[in-house]
Chains A and B, each alone.
Chain A
Amino acid sequence: MNNYLGKKYKITLIKDLTPDTKLFKLNLKNFKFLPGQFVMLSILGYGEGPFSITSSPTKNQHIDLTIRKVGRLTQAIFDKSVGDEVFIRGPYGNGFPITKLKGKNLIIISGGCGLAPMRSVIQYQLDTNFFSNLQILYGTRTSQDILFSEEIDSWRNKIETIITVDKSDKNWQGNTGLITNLITSKIIQTDNSVAFICGPPVMYDAVVQKLISMGLSENHIYLSLERNMQCGVSICQHCTCGDKYVCSDGPVFTLAESRKMEYKKD
């Protein structure tokens, strides 16, 4: 029975990632979920919000949530300390269809805080070698906005990780420019490949166009979409898009499915 509340869990670690983003570790043990699913976190007095799980289900002593401070609820989360408790319910959503994709080459394309749900997939790959190959293309506005910068260094040993920033500064040694510049046949191979994309809306169109032009099929490109979510269980109607509920039919859709949702084509 859904009680729009969930259970209390302790914050065991808080890590500053960027000026407006923090990672929170919560002591949910043996929590069964798929990468790409989310939980509803509530702080009594401030309300509830959906947050993607940013750790892999293979880490069974905790879950991580990567949270950006944008409003009242997230400000209240930022005011918490290690040892404080928050309410969690879930997991919700469909997650990435990992079981169908064993042995594929996975290309992760993320912008800004869109890397947060992808970290779940990345950790999963590091723990299981599920995909035959994994490439990460990641773009942010500046080098200060790069999430998980310390972890990325440890990922690089096993996973090809290419980062670009829109605007470089004197500390930045890497690529400058839009993430679409990285989507070339020199860097990406589309054979036996699938792509997971998550980032700001303006990024999706450009990235998708490039991938399609390189021969990747609409059914092999996966997007994680967002809507206003309140109940999380496809009743309250806030997250609907066409005949789909982003909270339960999504938030992960193939490009083919998301194009059908727009009503414009039938």
Chain B
Amino acid sequence: MNYILSYDDLTKQLKVWLKKFQIFVPTQKNGDFSWQKIDITNFDLSPIVTTIPPKKFFLPDNEILFNFFNNKILPVKSTKPTILLGLGIIDLKAIALLDKVMVSDEYYQKKRSKTVLIGLGPQIFDEKFDLFLQNQDGNWLVYIGSPKGQRMVSPSFRKTVSDPIKIEKIIDPLLSNQGRILKAVKASYQDKIWDELAQICLGCGICTYVCPLCYCFSLDDKINLNTGVNKKSCSNCQGSRRRVWDSCMLAHFSQVAGKHNFRVKLRDRIYNWYHHKFVRFPMEYGRFGCVNCGRCIKYCPAKINYRLILEKLLKKYV
């Protein structure tokens, strides 16, 4: 069953939802593209690809997992129910894959289960969503994608029998060559292309921050400074365990105690990023760890384009 909402009815519904949810929309402001809390008096629903992908809602860049005091654990405040309104199909695809990776992660799942995903776009393809909005003749067609989505329906949603406009298949002429790309990347470790890339790549890690399917992290503990800590009994020890984004592009990533570094060369770290996305990830999850959102291409300060790299490798190795 699908529904129609007029523009006004959607605004009214959002006001009702705001009593219980925080609602984020992708927003453009002074050339920046980011998820912001909705300004109900002035918002625009159009497909915007934010700089930082929606992964940050479930896997924040700096997240307190729990606090502790005197060797006792103090849980953190739970996330408020959240609506992400305006997700494009590429970001929905990425979230579905990230959900598989994080299936047993307590902290990701707590945030994820409290979030309603509302997609937006001219066409749908088999992506997971709770609701999906398609603009048609001055109305929003609202498609239900899950039981969670169905629960969001209210009497102001008028029923309709229209079906969503589906794309039959999204064929990316490059990435559809899944088997060949996997073989080519796997075979190319010794290739000088990685050394050439290491000459222009800054090792800054921006590609990993903006990628919706980069999820490397590190864990560390922070102790608050204003207490006198007794090391043996942990009394007066007050602090938290954090999870922070890390990046395989950064020099320390594969370093162990004793200072040995398994990926000391930048060319090895760059290769590892491609190897993860196009070899290891598909071996684990069946699809590439890349949805071609284009963010790494847009934001790389060295203008590296992963698609050109893959094309070169395909020509050479397969």
Task: Name A's B-contacting residues (CB within 8 A).
Answer: 1-5, 8, 42-48, 70-71, 76, 79-81, 84-85, 201, 226-228, 230-231, 233, 235-238, 240-243, 263-264, 266
Q: In whole Å, how far is A214's beta carbon from the nearest beta carbon of chain B?
A: 29
Interface size bracket, B side = 35 or more
Known: A1-B109, A45-B237, A71-B257. A240 touches B231 (CB 8 A): no
Q: How distant is the Cα of A241 from the Cα of B73 in the complex, in angstroms?
A: 34
A43-B234, A237-B215, A264-B190 known, 18 other contacts, Cβ within 8 Å: A1-B106, A2-B105, A3-B106, A3-B107, A45-B221, A47-B241, A80-B232, A228-B254, A230-B218, A230-B219, A231-B219, A236-B216, A236-B218, A237-B253, A237-B276, A240-B276, A263-B271, A266-B186
- For A228, give the chain B residue with the smallest CB separation: B256
Q: Determine the chain A residues whose CB is within 8 A of the CB of B94 once the complex forms.
A: none
Main secondary structure of the interface of B (DSSP, over half): mixed
Q: How distant is the Cα of A45 from the Cα of B227 in the complex, in angstroms?
A: 12
Q: How distant is the Cα of A139 from the Cα of B278 in the complex, in angstroms?
A: 42
Known: A4-B65, A230-B219, A235-B102. A45 touches B229 (CB 8 A): yes
Query: Which of A76, A84, A240 is close to B233, meaning CB atoms less than 8 Å apart?
Result: A84
Can you report 28 residue pairs joining A to B where beta carbons are below 8 Å apart?
A2-B106, A3-B65, A4-B107, A5-B241, A8-B71, A44-B221, A44-B237, A45-B68, A45-B223, A45-B229, A71-B257, A81-B232, A84-B233, A227-B262, A228-B253, A231-B217, A231-B219, A235-B102, A235-B217, A236-B218, A236-B219, A237-B248, A237-B276, A238-B246, A263-B275, A264-B189, A264-B190, A266-B187
Q: In whole Å, how far is B90's beta carbon from the nearest beta carbon of chain A?
A: 22
Q: Determine the chain B residues whose CB is within 8 A of the CB of A2 once the complex forms.
A: 104-106
Q: Determine the chain B residues whose CB is within 8 A of the CB of A240 once the complex forms.
A: 272, 276, 280
Q: In whole Å, how far is B287's beta carbon from the nearest beta carbon of chain A?
A: 15
Main secondary structure of the interface of A (DSSP, over half): loop
- For B220, give the chain A residue with the smallest CB separation: A47
Instruction: Determine whether the beta carbon of B216 is less than 8 Å from that of A243.
Output: no
Q: Determine the chain B residues whose CB is within 8 A of the CB of A80 once the complex forms.
A: 232
Any chain A CB within 8 A of the CB of B239? yes
Q: Determine the chain A residues whose CB is within 8 A of the CB of B1 once the complex forms.
A: none
Q: How distant is the Cα of A70 from the Cα of B259 in the complex, in angstroms?
A: 11
Q: How distant is the Cα of A236 from the Cα of B108 in the complex, in angstroms?
A: 13
Instruction: Determine whether the beta carbon of B217 is less than 8 Å from that of A230.
Output: yes
Known: A5-B66, A240-B276. A227 touches B254 (CB 8 A): yes
Any chain A CB within 8 A of the CB of B295? no
Known: A1-B109, A230-B217. A85 touches B71 (CB 8 A): yes
- For B255, give the chain A residue with the smallest CB separation: A228
Any chain A CB within 8 A of the CB of B174? no
Q: How distant is the Cα of A81 from the Cα of B233 in the complex, in angstroms?
A: 9
Chain B, residues 274-287, CB within 8 Å of chain A (1/0): the string is 01100110010000
Any chain A CB within 8 A of the CB of B155? no
Q: Determine the chain A residues whose CB is within 8 A of the CB of B107 once the complex forms.
A: 3-4
Q: Determine the chain A residues whose CB is within 8 A of the CB of B258 once the complex forms.
A: 70
Instruction: Determine whether the beta carbon of B257 is less than 8 Å from that of A70.
Output: yes
Chain B, residues 24-50, CB within 8 Å of chain A (1/0): the string is 000000000000000000000000000
Q: In whole Å, how far is A42's beta carbon from the nearest beta carbon of chain B?
A: 8
Q: Which of B66, B68, B231, B271 has the most CB of A within 10 A?
A: B231
Q: Determine the chain A residues whose CB is within 8 A of the CB of B215 once the complex forms.
A: 235, 237
Instruction: Determine whether the beta carbon of B254 is less than 8 Å from that of A238.
Output: yes
Q: How distant is the Cα of A46 from the Cα of B258 in the complex, in angstroms?
A: 18
Known: A44-B221, A241-B262, A264-B190. A5 touches B73 (CB 8 A): yes
Q: Determine the chain A residues whose CB is within 8 A of the CB of B241 once the complex forms.
A: 4-5, 42, 44, 47
- For A226, give the chain B residue with the smallest CB separation: B256
Instruction: Determine whether the beta carbon of A79 is less than 8 Å from that of B231.
Output: yes
- For A232, give the chain B residue with the smallest CB separation: B219
Chain B, residues 199-211, CB within 8 Å of chain A (1/0): the string is 0000000000000
Q: How distant is the Cα of A235 from the Cα of B218 in the complex, in angstroms?
A: 10
Q: Determine the chain A residues whose CB is within 8 A of the CB of B189 once the complex forms.
A: 263-264
Any chain A CB within 8 A of the CB of B243? yes
Any chain A CB within 8 A of the CB of B165? no
Instruction: Determine whether the beta carbon of A44 is less than 8 Å from that of B71.
Output: yes
Instruction: Determine whether the beta carbon of A236 is less than 8 Å from that of B217.
Output: yes
Q: In whole Å, how far is A198's beta carbon from the nearest beta carbon of chain B?
A: 15
Any chain A CB within 8 A of the CB of B101? yes
Q: How distant is the Cα of A44 from the Cα of B256 in the complex, in angstroms?
A: 21
Q: Determine the chain B residues whose CB is within 8 A of the CB of A266 once the complex forms.
A: 186-187
Known: A2-B106, A45-B229, A71-B257. A243 touches B221 (CB 8 A): no
Q: In whole Å, how far is B139's beta carbon from the nearest beta carbon of chain A?
A: 41
Q: In whole Å, how far is B264's beta carbon from the nearest beta carbon of chain A?
A: 13
Nearest 10 pairs of A and B residues by beta carbon: A263-B189, A1-B106, A237-B216, A44-B68, A45-B223, A243-B280, A3-B106, A47-B221, A79-B231, A228-B256
Instruction: Determine whether the beta carbon of A238 is less than 8 Å from that of B105.
Output: no
Q: Which of B215, B229, B257 has the most CB of A within 10 A?
A: B257
Q: In whole Å, how far is B226's beta carbon from the nearest beta carbon of chain A?
A: 14
Instruction: Determine whether the beta carbon of B216 is less than 8 Å from that of A45.
Output: no
- For A236, give the chain B residue with the smallest CB separation: B217
